[in-house]
């Protein structure tokens, strides 16, 4: 299936999730993440903040766990630059004020900027993904462009509410494969 068809299908599927089920899955994804990955050497972890009206995974479970039990990790969040379809990275600390932009995306407004090439791990949002580790997002290419500015060895981890599809038919040379995908019951590794 093509990205457009998959995007429509999984947007609808995600929209149908009730809040209780979404929170349970989000919590389970967070638990799988911390159970699977050794974070002892990680200094900076890029994480997306959930767009509530899109029923995205609640990543605050991960952020709260980092703050409570992995204080050596600095959470990094982004601000979307829609004019250039790019993102800028900022430190998320106790002083960071978050506001929703016009598209409902939570973003920092008073945060310290972070160079993209200093990030160790990135947690990537997605609507769906395939067995090869490619993902379908909202279709603007923000994360594929962003990853070009990051270190080549950055660990790319998708977070998914749903099982993989067999294949995304229209993957192209600009699509960047994930290294892992965390689901509520397991973590998948993609051989890159």
135 is in an annotated binding site: yes
56 is in an annotated binding site: yes
104 is in an annotated binding site: no
123 is in an annotated binding site: no
37 is in an annotated binding site: no
161 is in an annotated binding site: no
85 is in an annotated binding site: no
DSSP assignments along 29-91, one per residue:
HHHHHHHH---TT--EEE-PPP-GGGT---THHHHHHHHHH-TTSEEEEEEEETTTTEEEEEE
8 is in an annotated binding site: no
Q: Cβ(38)–Cβ(182) under 8 Å?
A: no
What is the length of the chain?
192
Tell which residue, 54, 67, 49, 41, has the closest CA to residue 155: 41
Tell which residue, 175, 177, 138, has the closest CA to residue 157: 177
Residue 9 Cα to chain centre, angstroms: 19
25 is in an annotated binding site: no
Could you tell me which residues are beta bridge partners of residue 44? 74
141 is in an annotated binding site: yes
Q: Cβ(96)–Cβ(90) under 8 Å?
A: yes
165 is in an annotated binding site: no
90 is in an annotated binding site: no
- Rounded to a whole number of angstroms, the CA Rg of the chain reads 16
143 is in an annotated binding site: yes
7 is in an annotated binding site: yes
Binding site members for ATP: 3-7, 135-143
Binding site members: 3-7, 49, 56, 135-143
Binding site members for substrate: 49, 56
């Amino acid at each position: 299936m093509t990205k457009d068809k998959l995007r429509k299908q999984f947007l609808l599927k995600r929209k149908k999730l009730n809040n209780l089920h979404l929170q349970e899955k989000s919590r389970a994804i967070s638990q799988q993440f911390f159970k699977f990955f050794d974070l002892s050497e990680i200094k900076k972890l890029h994480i997306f903040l959930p767009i509530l009206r899109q029923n995205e995974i609640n990543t605050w479970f991960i952020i709260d766990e980092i703050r409570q039990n992995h204080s050596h990790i600095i959470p990094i969040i982004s601000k979307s630059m829609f004019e250039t379809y790019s993102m800028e990275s900022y430190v998320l600390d106790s002083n960071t004020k978050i506001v929703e932009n016009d598209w409902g995306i939570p973003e920092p407004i008073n945060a310290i900027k972070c160079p993209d090439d200093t990030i160790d791990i990135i947690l990537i949002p997605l609507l769906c993904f395939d067995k090869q580790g490619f993902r379908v997002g909202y279709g603007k290419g923000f994360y594929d462009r962003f990853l070009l500015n990051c270190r080549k060895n950055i660990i790319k981890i998708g977070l998914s509410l749903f099982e993989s599809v067999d294949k995304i038919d229209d993957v192209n040379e600009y699509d960047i494969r994930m290294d892992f995908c965390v689901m509520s019951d397991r973590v998948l590794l993609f051989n890159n």
